[in-house]
């Protein structure tokens, strides 16, 4: 490696450290548990053209990869010559930012020696923005809360107090929203200060050479990885639960010499409910899935993202156009990796996992309407729990693990500290992972109830209730998700509003991942270990795996 390249590589490594500190500043300062405890964020540094150079490791693909495009959009909306030190721009427009109103995206110009040299950006989830709230019941985007077009949040260091008051006035959790916005500001400022400090330390006045090195190196590395793949077009159809009826997601994956193209043509049309997905969000998760297999050791930035192209017909459910309701866009958006892997497994059978739970079991809760007049405690809370991932060609699936979202599960103690709910049981669900040479990851069994004498509302929008995760190459299905009130109550549908009355227990089980390969090929020692750990029962060992305990 040349001396100049070595110096640029050192600066690249430093940039990765800077952006990680930036992300941690957001998590440490956040008010909402879904940010502070679950890491539902993104943070990144961008060059003068708005190209992403580095992203924090902590964060979800839905935030990170949408942020990579959103900064380009905001960079084109605001003139460089009008930007001043201390300016910060904001939007939560789903078709610019991260697919629904509850994600706020900020962009801050970074000044060094009185010149804009680049941008910092970040995204995080705000728990409540009014309207019908986090749930699938909206008929259009206007039902779902407050939409903020691209605007200035900070003007030369001065907060746009009117905007802040509007956000607070339209929320059931005004204090948490205000705190989370300040945390986003701190995130941008931390990145800006550290980036300017890095430039001073290395004696550079601009990022042009570093940007070219990062993007070119990453681009060519990714193209080289694509060049080694088999060429052709592969198709897959994934049936998912939907809301009013089951839905088909279609994909055609084409691997060319330098480009990987994905097309959602044939996918079902829009839902009347808020499970529709803007294309930016569907793209974010689809490309993430591909990048997990194709050049996974190459850092995620504008260069490594460039060879991937995603398209879909307007107003198919994966390319919803405004004003479609999109509050729960993650429900189907997070199913796109399984859709894509169904194509890729035909080309690379030894690299692609089985289907998993995929859609996180995101459970928005809030006080019942009568709480206001009765003087009961008012709250809005969003819990996140995960199912099992699909088994991999050489490894079992991961239990109670969020893939593809990557968010951490909600913590029992934190949940009970911020809202009047009590989690009375949380454990892995035995036999929920699909059988196979490699076993699918297990889902969870969780029970929750009110901790006082008031009802609360639950807004369900989950998948894998009617269509469990399929195994691959002879592997068995994972267990389906399931929700009910009380142990003997009827099963609840996967989507809709549910009232949990005081004294009742909400019982829900997250799905398991599919198995990989013939179960009769599983190693005896692995089966006995699963038995000892309580992950399968003796009947499963005997009837499916052919091993007498």
Domains of the chain, each with CATH number or no CATH: 3-219 (3.30.450), 353-549 (no CATH)
pLDDT at 34: 84
Whether 1 has a pLDDT exceeding 70, the answer reads no
Between CA 391 and CA 439 the distance in angstroms is 6
| Concatenated DSSP letters of 399-464 | TT--TTT-PPPPPHHHHHHHSSEEEEEEEE-TT-SPPSSBPPPP-EEEEEEESSS--EEEEEE--S
What tens digit of pLDDT does each residue of 418-457 get?
Answer: 889 999 999 999 999 999 999 999 999 999 999 998 999 9
pLDDT at site 264 = 98
Distance in angstroms (rounded) separating the CA atoms of residues 133 and 376: 19
Res. 40 pLDDT band, cuts 50 70 90: confident
Q: Which two tokens stand for residue 422?
A: 């009590």
The DSSP annotation for 98-135 comes to TSSTTEEEEEEEEEETTEEEEEEEEEEE-S--STT-SS
pLDDT, one tens digit per residue, over 320-374 is: 999 999 999 999 999 999 999 999 999 999 999 999 999 989 899 999 988 888 8
CA distance 387 to 362: 11
Long-range contacts of 369-378 (CB under 8 A, 24+ apart): 370/455, 371/454, 374/454, 376/452, 376/454, 377/419, 377/420, 377/452, 377/454, 378/172
Give per-residue pLDDT as tens, 8-29: 999 999 999 999 999 999 999 9
CA dist., res. 145 & res. 171, Å (int): 9
- Quick one: DSSP state of residue 230? P
SS3 at position 72: helix
**Cβ proximity of 117 and 45 under 8 Å:** no
* Least confidently predicted of 82-91, 166-175, 269-278, 406-415: 406-415
Which residues, in sequence order, are CB contacts of 225 under 8 Å at separation 6+? 294, 295, 298
- pLDDT number for residue 381: 87
pLDDT above 70: percentage of residues in the chain:
99
Q: How many CA atoms lie within 13 A of 240 on its CB side?
A: 35
Q: Name the 3-class secondary structure at 298.
A: coil
The dihedral through the CA atoms of 523, 353, 249, 442 has a sign that is: positive
Q: Residue 2 above 70 pLDDT? A: no
Instruction: State mean pLDDT over 386-411.
Output: 95
Q: Is the entire prediction scored with pTM above 0.75?
A: yes
Q: In this predicted structure, what is the pLDDT of residue 375?
A: 83
């Amino acid at each position: 490696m040349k001396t100049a390249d070595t110096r640029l590589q050192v600066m690249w490594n430093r940039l990765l450290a800077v952006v990680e500190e930036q992300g941690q500043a957001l998590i440490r300062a956040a008010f909402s548990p879904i940010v502070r405890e679950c890491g539902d964020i993104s943070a990144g540094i961008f060059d003068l053209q708005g190209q992403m150079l580095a992203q924090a490791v902590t964060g979800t693909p839905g935030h990170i990869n949408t942020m990579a495009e959103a900064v380009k959009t905001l960079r084109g909306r605001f003139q460089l010559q009008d930007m001043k030190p201390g300016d910060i721009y904001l939007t939560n427009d789903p078709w610019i930012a991260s697919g629904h109103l509850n994600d706020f995206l900020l962009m801050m110009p970074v000044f060094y020696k009185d010149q804009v040299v680049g941008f910092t950006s970040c995204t995080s989830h705000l728990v409540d923005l009014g309207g019908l709230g986090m749930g699938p019941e909206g008929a259009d985007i206007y039902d779902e809360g407050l939409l903020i077009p691209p605007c200035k949040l900070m003007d030369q260091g001065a907060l746009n107090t009117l905007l802040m008051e509007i956000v607070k006035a339209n929320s059931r959790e005004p204090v948490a929203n205000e705190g989370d916005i300040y945390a986003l500001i701190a995130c941008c400022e931390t990145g800006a200060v550290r980036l300017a400090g890095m430039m001073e330390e290395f004696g550079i006045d601009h990022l042009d050479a570093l940007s070219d090195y990062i993007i070119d190196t990453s681009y060519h590395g990714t193209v080289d990885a694509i060049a080694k793949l088999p060429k052709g077009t592969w198709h897959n159809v994934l049936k998912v639960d939907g809301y009013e009826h089951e839905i088909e997601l279609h994909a055609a994956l084409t691997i060319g010499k330098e480009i990987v193209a994905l097309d959602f043509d044939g996918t079902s049309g829009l839902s009347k409910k808020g499970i529709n997905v803007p294309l930016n969000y569907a793209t974010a998760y689809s490309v993430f899935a591909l990048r997990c297999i194709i050049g996974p050791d190459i850092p995620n930035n504008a260069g490594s993202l460039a060879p991937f192209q995603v398209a879909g017909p307007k107003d198919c459910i994966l390319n919803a156009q405004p004003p479609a309701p999109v509050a729960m866009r993650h429900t189907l958006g997070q199913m796109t990796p399984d859709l894509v892997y169904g194509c890729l497994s035909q080309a690379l059978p030894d690299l692609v996992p089985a289907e998993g739970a995929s859609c996180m079991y995101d459970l928005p809760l809030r006080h019942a309407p009568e709480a206001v007049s009765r003087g009961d405690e008012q709250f809005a809370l969003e819990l996140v729990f995960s199912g099992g991932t699909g088994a991999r060609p050489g490894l079992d699936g991961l239990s109670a693990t969020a893939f593809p979202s990557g968010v951490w599960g909600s913590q029992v103690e934190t949940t009970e500290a911020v809202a009047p709910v009590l989690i009375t049981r949380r454990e892995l669900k035995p036999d929920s992972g699909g059988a196979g040479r490699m076993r699918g990851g297990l889902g969870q069994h969780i029970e929750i109830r009110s901790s006082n004498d008031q009802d609360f509302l639950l807004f369900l929008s989950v998948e894998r209730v009617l269509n469990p995760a399929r195994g691959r190459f002879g592997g068995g299905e994972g267990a389906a998700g399931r929700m009910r009130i009380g142990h003997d109550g009827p099963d609840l549908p996967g989507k809709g509003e549910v009232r949990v009355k005081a004294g009742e227990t909400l019982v829900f089980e997250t799905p398991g991942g599919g198995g990989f390969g013939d179960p009769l090929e599983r190693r005896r020692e692995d089966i006995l270990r699963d038995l000892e750990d309580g992950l399968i029962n003796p009947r499963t060992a005997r009837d499916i795996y052919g091993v007498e305990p």
